[in-house]
Amino acid sequence: MEPLFHAATYTGYVYPNETVIPWTVLIVVYPYLTGLVAGAFTVSSLYHVFGMQRFKPVAQFALLASLCLMIFVPLPLLLHLGHPERAFNAVITPHWTSAFAVFGYAAGFYIILLLLENWFVFRPHIVQQAQQRKGLPGWFYRVLSLGSYDLSGKAMRYDHKWIFALAVTGIPAAHGLHGYVGFVFGSVKSREWWSSDLMPAIFLFSAIISGVALLIALYVLSCKLRKTPVDRECVKGLGYTLWGFLMFTLVLEGVEFGALVYRGREGIETILEYVTGPLIVPFFILQFAIGAVIPIAVLSYMFWEGTTGKALVAGVTLSACLVLFSVFMMRWNVVIGGQEISKTGKGLVDYQMVIFHREGLVAAASVIIAPLVLLLAMVRLFPPWADNAVPSSAPDARGEVLPRVVTETK
């Protein structure tokens, strides 16, 4: 039987077991999803922790998106395993020397944290629906309310303290969760493309820009679907955040790439062969030129010229979409590209991706789309928008109690 993943062409001195690339496109999707989680939570924390009011329109939406994305983060790893039911062995019998084994505990802790923070943030809406809805929907919200219907100023101040504490705890948790992914790759000394001390930092900052870019695209799209005006100050603030972190990420990637090429000139000829050959299109053109240089140029021009209105929204949204593509290509070039350079340093292996398979293109695309489908359902159950505010005496980001406002949910 013909092997599923094989080297269609390879050159140099490649070991027989290196004709197979074991980490496939699903392992590309895995760090991509974790990055989106960390980036979305960062935007939410800018409002809930640091009180940046311009991010208020997307703060709750970012928190809800983080939860939906995080639920599906382990799925690529489970699909990659031949027996996914054995994944629980890593939790039952922990192996502390394995970074992937520790991930089970880290992911479980972070999911619980996101569930708690979302519950406190959306508790006013849950209470309102529990009191107004009948039948199965009413029963659903009454169970979620946990029997607590108190929306007084004292209760809301108490909730805000929990939101603040959970958000503060979630900042290092979210960034550590994705930083460890970079640690996994950076600690593999047998792969020249991965063996870099900058890998955790690159993964972390690329995660932030991918999450910010996702929120920009989804927020603008949601406004179009709901036929409500886009908060341009919010989009501008997100654009500035994306612009700043993108430039810093680009510098880190440039330094890391320069160090890699320098090591190649010191004796690993295959690296130079790979850089000047198969890497030209996926790295230099797709990831760097289209996904990074164009967004930086567009954002820099708009901020320099003081662009406003629909042109600002369109330019920031376009840049966000390109950044999402760039980060995915970065994950691809690290995961797949790192395996295309043989461990001997004397040959190149070619990755052949299939379409319909447990680890094929369709499965990977389904894993990426699934959190967005869940997010669509969650938005209907827990509206995160300011125009769908519920009756409450909720405190703002600084803990000050806001007046009771009654707005019917649509």
DSSP 97-126: T-HHHHHHHHHHHHHHHHHHHHHHHTHHHH
What is the CB neighbour count within 10 angstroms for residue 43? 29
Would you give the distance in Å from CA 396 to the centre of its chain? Answer: 26
Residue bearing tokens 């209907």: 380
The pLDDT tens digits for 273-316 are: 666 677 788 888 888 899 999 999 999 999 998 888 899 999 99
More confident residue, 101 or 402: 101
The pLDDT tens digits for 230-281 are: 999 999 999 999 999 999 888 888 888 777 777 666 555 666 666 667 778 8
Domain for residue 408, yes or no? no
Q: Which amino acid is at 313?
A: V
The pLDDT tens digits for 139-190 are: 999 999 988 888 888 889 999 999 999 999 988 888 877 777 777 776 666 6
Residues 6+ positions from 28 with CB-CB distance below 8 Å: 328, 331, 332, 335, 336, 364
Count of domains observed in the chain: 1
Residue bearing tokens 């406003």: 308
- Compute φ and ψ for 344, nearest 5 degrees: -75, -15
Residues 6+ positions from 111 with CB-CB distance below 8 Å: 67, 70, 71
* Residue 401 DSSP symbol: B
Domain for residue 402, yes or no? no
Please report, to the nearest 10 degrees, the dihedral formed by the alpha carbons of residues 200, 203, 204, 210 taken in order: 180
What stretch of H or E contains 34? helix 25-48
Look at residue 10 and give its three-state secondary structure.
strand
The pLDDT tens digits for 38-67 are: 889 999 999 988 888 889 999 999 999 999
Average per-residue pLDDT for the chain: 82
What stretch of H or E contains 30? helix 25-48
Domain for residue 396, yes or no? no
Q: Which amino acid is at 242?
A: L
More confident residue, 403 or 32: 32
The pLDDT-based confidence of 104 (bands split at 50, 70, 90) is confident
pLDDT for 227 beyond 70: yes
Residue 268: predicted pLDDT: 59
Contact criterion met (CB below 8 Å) for 149 and 130:
yes
Among 146-160, 209-223, 327-341, the range with the most confident prediction by mean pLDDT is: 209-223
The pLDDT-based confidence of 6 (bands split at 50, 70, 90) is very low
Percent of the chain with pLDDT over 90: 37
Alpha-helical regions (H) of 133-231: 135-145, 153-186, 199-226
pLDDT for 377 beyond 60: yes
Q: Which amino acid is at 392?
A: S
Would you give the distance in Å from CA 177 to the centre of its chain? Answer: 11
Look at residue 307 and give its three-state secondary structure.
coil
Residue bearing tokens 């999402």: 324
Range of the domain at 106: 10-388
- Compute φ and ψ for 94, nearest 5 degrees: -65, 145
Count of CA atoms in the C-beta half-sphere (13 A) of 242: 37
Encoded tokens for 335 = 């995961």
Q: What is the mean pLDDT of residues 191-213?
A: 83
Round to whole Å and give the CA distance between 131 and 108: 32
pLDDT for 30 beyond 60: yes
Domain for residue 357, yes or no? yes
DSSP 332-358: HHHHHHHHHB-TTSSEEE-----SSST
The pLDDT-based confidence of 7 (bands split at 50, 70, 90) is very low
What is the CB neighbour count within 10 angstroms for residue 356? 8
> What is the domain-level CATH number for residue 156?
1.20.1630.10
The pLDDT-based confidence of 114 (bands split at 50, 70, 90) is very high
Domain for residue 191, yes or no? yes
pLDDT for 404 beyond 60: no
Domain for residue 404, yes or no? no
pTM of the model: 0.85
Domain for residue 345, yes or no? yes
Look at residue 395 and give its three-state secondary structure.
strand
Encoded tokens for 85 = 């039911």
Domain for residue 161, yes or no? yes
Contact criterion met (CB below 8 Å) for 164 and 139:
no
**Lowest-confidence range among 7-16, 119-128, 259-268, 311-320?**
7-16
Residue 241: predicted pLDDT: 93
Contact criterion met (CB below 8 Å) for 26 and 363:
yes
Contact criterion met (CB below 8 Å) for 107 and 33:
no
Q: What is the mean pLDDT of residues 189-209?
A: 79
